[in-house]
Amino acid sequence: MTNHDYILQLGDSNLILSQRLGEWCGHGPVLEQDIALTNMALDLLGQARMLLSYAAELEGKGRTEDDLAGLRDAKEFRNTLLVEQPNEDWAYTIARQFFFDAFQYFNYQALLSSKDERLAGIAEKAIKEVTYHLRFSSDWMFRLGDGTETSHQKIQTAVDDLWMFTGELWTPSPVESEMSAAGIAPDYTMLASQWKEKVETVLHQATLSVPESDFKQLGGKTGKHTEHLGFILADMQFLQRSYPGQQW
């Protein structure tokens, strides 16, 4: 396992979540939130581009970021299962985003000290965006959880349904364990502690219950995905597979 495999995991999660958020473009509940999610999707896409470009360089096979995004099959993607879950409704989108943002914030903070200087530089460029994302999704957790009876019920249902996918965020894959030992990736025990503290604090402040289940649905970071990823890739990769070799 190499640094390439680890960078690919980071880039894939950003790429797939960017695609999910992009589905809200023109469909947001109000114009301001429509624009906010679209901008967040672009932030994640920009981070994915930096990471996948670096991954392609490390791979050394002449592939580009576009090749990695558009010409791999689902089993070759290494994103977490959480980010490929459907939008469903606004509550599901916010809960998914909050869980991911909380992890991203602490993960990128730790990556600022990575022994991989290129990766640390990417984290430095992205940390302001990640900080805003976490503030946005946290604020919406408060608004929905401590809002109306209906909004509370919807966000609690989303939290409960998505909870089993959150453990994969901070449960290291084999390559993450190897990179952590090498000082390239963070200490995942620390990340788990930070994530849990942040998430539980926000849920409590939003008058929401923390799910009691410890079950963790794993597999995405090793190429085992839900059926949802295939549908995402069918949309995302259509042009590149239909017109191979074209230049933008």
Q: What is the mean pLDDT of residues 176-188?
A: 96
**Is 3-242 in CATH node 1.20.1260.10?**
yes
Q: pLDDT of 141-153, one tens digit each?
A: 999 999 999 999 9
- Which positions ≥6 away from 182 have C-beta within 8 Å? 115
Q: What is the mean pLDDT of residues 232-246?
A: 83
pTM for the structure as a whole: 0.95
Structure tokens at 122: 């990417």
Q: What residue type is 244 in one-letter code?
A: P
- The domains of the chain are located at 3-242
- Which positions ≥6 away from 219 have C-beta within 8 Å? 81, 168, 225
C-alpha span between 150 and 153 (Å, rounded): 5
- Which positions ≥6 away from 199 have C-beta within 8 Å? 98, 99, 102, 166, 210
Q: pLDDT of 122-178, one tens digit each?
A: 999 999 999 999 999 999 999 999 999 999 999 999 999 999 999 999 999 999 999
Tell me what pLDDT residue 122 has.
Answer: 97
Residue 30 banded pLDDT, cuts 50, 70, 90:
confident
Phi, psi at residue 125, to the nearest 5°? -70, -30
Structure tokens at 217: 């649905």
Instruction: Examine the pLDDT at 32 and tell me if it is beyond 80.
Output: no
Provide the strand spans (E) within 132-185: none
- Which positions ≥6 away from 89 have C-beta within 8 Å? 154, 158
Q: What residue type is 141 in one-letter code?
A: M
Q: Is the distance from CB of 221 to CB of 9 less than 8 angstroms?
A: yes
Q: pLDDT of 217-227, one tens digit each?
A: 999 999 999 99
Tell me what pLDDT residue 17 has.
Answer: 98
- Residue from 229, 204, 199, 215 nearest 97 by CA: 199
- Residue from 51, 76, 84, 75 nearest 65 by CA: 51
- Residue from 154, 149, 159 nearest 202 by CA: 159
- Which positions ≥6 away from 188 have C-beta within 8 Å? 170, 171, 172, 176, 177, 180
C-alpha span between 120 and 54 (Å, rounded): 12
Structure tokens at 68: 């990695």
